[in-house]
């Protein structure tokens, strides 16, 4: 291990519903702890969505980074994060690093399918039943067109954003309980 090569800790988290404010405090605490650590060079905070956050902590060397991670302060903060998020830590050495960040596209397809289907089914049943009751004399193809407009609007702007935000941590969790990249 070369001590003169900088090292970056990439901390990625999908925040659990209702934990955003606590997680923002956690990010501040990790940032402050890193700033006090020997060899600390800089920090970058990245937010992808309401619930997906990344923290990049740069250190002078891998040894400095590993001392920071092994320290009591970071260990306590890492344990607290488990109640707030699903996360993954990655380490990259050198001045130029490639990082693969988790994203909503990282979710397992079967989980995305299940969340979408469970969102669509009740709305579809309610909308189509309501349209049939309100427009009984209108031809069925027109009823379907009206139903599809209502269904798509409700799903796009009301239901799916809320359901996906609530299910994001579960959707992005891998088999080992970590965030998928």
Residue 50 binned pLDDT confidence (cut-offs 50, 70, 90): low
User: Within 10 A of 48 (CB to CB), how many other CB atoms are there?
Assistant: 14
Q: What is the tens place of the pLDDT at every residue in 32-44? A: 999 999 999 999 9
- In what order do the strands lie in the sheet containing 52-59? 40-47, 52-59, 7-15, 85-93
User: Within 10 A of 30 (CB to CB), how many other CB atoms are there?
Assistant: 22
What is the model's pTM? 0.74
Residues 155-162 have a mean pLDDT of 92
Q: Class assignment of domain 7-102? A: alpha beta
- The residues facing 40 across adjacent strands are 59
H/E stretch holding 54? strand 52-59
Q: What is the tens place of the pLDDT at every residue in 79-95? A: 999 899 998 999 999 98
CA distance 156 to 151: 8
The percentage of residues in the chain with a pLDDT greater than 70, rounded to a whole number, is 98
The residue ranges of every structural domain in the chain are 7-102, 107-171
DSSP secondary structure string, 93-151? ESSS-------GGGS-HHHHHHHHHHHHHHHHHHHHHHHHHH-TTS-HHHHHHHHHHHH
Residues 65-88 have a mean pLDDT of 94
Residues 34, 57 contacting (CB under 8 angstroms): yes
């Amino acid at each position: 291990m070369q001590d003169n090569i900088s090292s970056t800790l990439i901390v990625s988290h999908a925040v659990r519903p209702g934990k955003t404010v606590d997680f923002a405090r956690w990010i501040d605490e990790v940032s402050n702890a890193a700033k006090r650590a020997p060899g600390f060079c800089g920090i970058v905070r990245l937010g992808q969505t309401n619930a997906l956050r990344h923290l990049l902590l740069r250190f002078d060397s891998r040894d400095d980074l590993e001392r920071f991670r092994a320290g009591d302060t970071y260990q306590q903060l890492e344990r607290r994060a488990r109640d707030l998020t699903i996360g993954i830590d990655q380490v990259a050495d050198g001045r130029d690093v490639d990082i693969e960040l988790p994203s909503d596209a990282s979710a397992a397809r079967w989980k995305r399918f299940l969340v979408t289907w469970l969102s669509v089914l009740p709305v579809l049943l309610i909308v189509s039943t309501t349209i049939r009751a309100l427009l009984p004399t209108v031809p069925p193809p027109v009823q379907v067109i009206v139903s599809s407009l209502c269904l798509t609007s409700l799903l796009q702007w009301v239901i799916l954003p809320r359901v996906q935000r609530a299910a994001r941590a579960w959707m992005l969790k891998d088999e080992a309980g970590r965030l998928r990249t």
